[in-house]
Structure 1
Amino acid sequence: MNNRFFLSIIAFILLMSCKQDYHLTRIEGKRIEINDSLTGNQDIENFIKPFREHVNNDLDSVLAYAVDTYTKNDGELNTAIGNFMADAVKEMASPIFKNRTGNAIDIVMLNHGGIRSILSKGNVTSRTAYQIMPFENSVVVTGLKGTSVKEMVNYLQKSKRAHPISGISIKLNSDFELMEATVKGEAIDNDKTYYVATNDYLYNGGDNMSFFRQGDSLYKLDYKIRNLLIDYFKKVDTLDLHADDRFIKTN
């Protein structure tokens, strides 16, 4: 027992004597410039080539045809491309929401800045959808009382931008004062619940759209807007887009 005791003491002393405290005293870095002098690795290139070709073939397969070129700057309060995006969300997401809840999507609101590319005249492909919507944003639906919908209208009135909307009509006078706002042709009812589709970024307060968080419910459709656009392109043959009178200012 005594030998074991002394051996344990010696081992403990040796262990403690080996313990050292380390402190970070300096961080050094080196700048490595990426330029034309760097050469690729042919083995890696050969390995990824078939995968790249497969992805490019998928992205460049023709899904539809656009009769003109459309940009988000084509109009003051509503644009052809913005209307198309909001209408596409309403059309493609509505059956999913209806099937899950028994309710219909009344309104769609997206953001002007979320349109990241023009839609060019000619063939429309999956790559087109990635260019217009490169983000991973998904569709969500929230139930908003009419009072919150009126806050949304007030936001649109003050922003004076062509944020994509669908299902709601807004008319301003020449001084950007509200003249009329209707949903399905009827004045907004303060006590009624309207189901409003948007994306998860905006629902969480993006672009200062805090009114979405006032909703009494939230439904996540697990449907990326980019994928929704691809599905919409597959569904239609020709894209002939137009600005209209859903959000206008009178003279």
Structure 2
Amino acid sequence: MDLKNKHFVIIATILLAQSCRESVPKLRNIEGQRIQINYASIAKDSVENVIAPYRNRINEVLDSVLAYAPKAISKTDGTLNSPAGNLLADIVMQEVNPVFAARTGKQIDFVLLNFGSIRSVISQGDVTERTAYEVMPFENSIVIAELDGKAIRAMVSFLTKSSVAHPISGIQVIVDKNKSLQAVNIQGKPFDENRTYYVATSDYLVTGGDKMDFFKEYITLTDSDYLVRNILIDYFKKIDTLRAATDDRFLQIK
């Protein structure tokens, strides 16, 4: 190939490359608008026909009756402990302890949850899976923290100073009329500061949530892989009638 032809090929190649680059589309601008969706919005039949079977099935499952509540169960009925808090903590103890025992060969000593985790009253009447979602809408699971006597002492101090009734089970706290601590019993025995205890709580609280910093001092931690909401559902399926009341697990001597 002579020099003239070589120059022609080079120039043609350059022009072809440039033309290819220029033909590639480039994004210049993006425009959008906010479309408000509310109850006044009109559903499209094509979309509704796709969604309806799934929604109907979900509602069917959520509204299936599992148990019955003869009266409303609330976390605000009571001062130092409440029907809803006691029920929740007792359910966690009953349902999670077998899981913990099977995995570790040990027993849960007591349960501590938080007042704020109970998000709804259990209304009088039928108890359904939807009830469990209303009471516990969060994706929290139960973990078991091994705590030493110092951490338990800090926990009890936190409870006696609290202005709300945090759910507890397996532990009894007794205070006088001034809320000064008088006694702590765990599984019916006096608190022993020289031993460790296994405390079931939520994966949120064990990180120090709700100012429960004493949980961060855990020695060992075991995850039950059991959502609190699923614990409620499993319990509801086992019983016919929900019974809940205040009792002497947190007692003030007048």
TM-score, normalised via structure 2 length: 0.87
Residues 1:219 and 2:229 are matched in the alignment: no
Aligned residues: 244
Corresponding residue for 2:250? 247
Residues 160 and 179 (structure 1), Cα distance of their counterparts in 2 relative to 1, 3 Å cut: farther
Corresponding residue for 1:21? none
Distance in 2 (alpha carbons) for counterparts of 1:103 and 1:32: 56
Moved over 6 A (4+): 26-29
| Equivalent residue for 1:59, pick from 57, 62, 70 | 62
Comparing 35-44 and 195-204, the one that deviates more: 35-44
CA contact under 8 A between 1:59 and 1:125: conserved in structure 2?
yes
The alignment yields a C-alpha RMSD, in angstroms, of: 2.7
Q: Which amino acid aligns with 2:111?
A: V
Corresponding residue for 1:162? 165
Comparing 189-198 and 26-35, the one that deviates more: 26-35
User: How far has the Cα of 1:187 moved from its partner?
Assistant: 2.1
User: Which entry has the higher C-alpha Rg, 1 or 2?
Assistant: 2
Residues 1:46 and 2:39 are matched in the alignment: no
Question: Equivalences for 1:36-185 in 2 at 5 Å?
Answer: 38-185=41-188
CA contact under 8 A between 1:150 and 1:188: conserved in structure 2?
no
User: How far has the Cα of 1:55 moved from its partner?
Assistant: 1.0
Q: Which runs of 5+ in 2 are unaligned?
A: 23-27
Distance in 1 (alpha carbons) for counterparts of 2:50 and 2:32: 32
Residues 36 and 130 (structure 1), Cα distance of their counterparts in 2 relative to 1, 3 Å cut: closer
CA contact under 8 A between 1:66 and 1:240: conserved in structure 2?
yes
CA contact under 8 A between 2:111 and 2:199: conserved in structure 1?
yes
Identity, in percent, stands at: 47
Corresponding residue for 2:25? none
User: How far has the Cα of 1:155 moved from its partner?
Assistant: 0.7
CA contact under 8 A between 2:110 and 2:187: conserved in structure 1?
no
Q: Which runs of 5+ in 1 are unaligned?
A: 19-23
